[in-house]
C-alpha cells in the first residue's frame, strides 16, 4: 500500500520535530545544565528553524502529491491520536505538580523543580506528546481502525 499525503506529511513533521528538538534536548540534558537559564536566543532559533523546515518539507510533500484531500478516516485517526497525546501530557503535568509538592517537603533539593528544570521538562513533555500524536496516527494508518 502506497503512502497517502497525510502519512508522508506526518513522517516529515515527526522527523523535523525529533531532529531539531532532539538536538536542543541533547544540549540541555547532556551537561546537566538544568539550573542554567535557557538561552532565549537558542529557543527562538529553534522555533524559527522548526517553522522554516516544516514549511519547506510540507510544501515539497504537497507538490509531490496530487490529492491533498482529508476525509473522515483521516479525521477519526487524528481524533484518536489527540486522545493519546492529551492523556500522556496530562500524566506528565500531574507528575510535575507532584514533584513541586514533594520539593516543598524536601526543602527545595530536587533538581527537577528548579524553574529552569521545570521549563526544560515541560518543553520535553510537549515535544513528546507531539511525537506520540504523530506516532499513533502513523500506527493507525498502517494497522487500520
Q: Give me the residues that bind other proteins (CB under 8 A), please.
A: 1-2, 4-7, 67, 69, 71-74, 141, 143-145
Closest approach of other proteins to the CB of residue 68, in Å = 10
Rounded Cα–Cα distance for residues 105 and 90 (Å): 23
DSSP conformational letter for 36: S
The residue (of 121 and 141) whose beta carbon lies closer to other proteins is 141
The residue (of 53 and 58) whose beta carbon lies closer to other proteins is 58
Closest approach of other proteins to the CB of residue 33, in Å = 45
The residue (of 11 and 123) whose beta carbon lies closer to other proteins is 11
Residues 140 and 23: beta-carbon distance below 8 Å: no
The residue (of 82 and 140) whose beta carbon lies closer to other proteins is 140
The long-range contacts involving 118-127, CB below 8 angstroms and separated by at least 24 positions, are 119/38, 120/25, 120/28, 120/29, 120/34, 120/38, 121/92, 121/96, 122/96, 123/21, 124/25, 125/88, 125/89, 125/92, 125/93, 125/96, 126/89, 127/17, 127/21, 127/25
Residues 143 and 133: beta-carbon distance below 8 Å: no
The residue (of 40 and 145) whose beta carbon lies closer to other proteins is 145
Closest approach of other proteins to the CB of residue 13, in Å = 18
Closest approach of other proteins to the CB of residue 113, in Å = 45
Closest approach of other proteins to the CB of residue 4, in Å = 4
Amino acid at each position: 500500500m502506497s503512502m497517502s499525503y497525510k502519512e508522508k506529511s506526518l513522517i516529515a513533521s515527526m522527523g523535523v520535530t525529533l531532529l531539531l528538538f532532539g538536538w536542543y534536548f541533547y544540549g540541555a540534558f547532556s551537561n546537566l545544565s538544568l539550573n542554567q537559564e535557557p538561552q532565549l536566543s537558542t529557543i527562538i532559533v529553534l522555533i524559527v528553524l522548526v517553522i522554516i523546515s516544516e514549511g519547506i518539507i510540507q510544501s515539497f510533500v504537497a507538490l509531490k502529491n496530487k490529492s491533498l484531500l482529508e476525509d473522515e478516516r483521516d479525521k477519526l485517526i487524528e481524533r484518536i491520536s489527540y486522545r493519546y497525546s492529551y492523556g500522556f501530557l496530562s500524566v506528565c503535568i500531574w507528575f510535575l505538580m507532584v514533584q513541586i509538592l514533594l520539593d516543598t517537603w524536601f526543602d527545595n533539593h530536587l533538581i527537577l523543580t528548579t524553574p529552569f528544570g521545570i521549563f526544560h521538562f515541560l518543553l520535553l513533555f510537549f515535544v513528546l506528546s507531539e511525537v506520540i500524536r504523530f506516532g499513533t496516527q502513523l500506527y493507525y494508518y498502517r494497522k487500520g481502525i
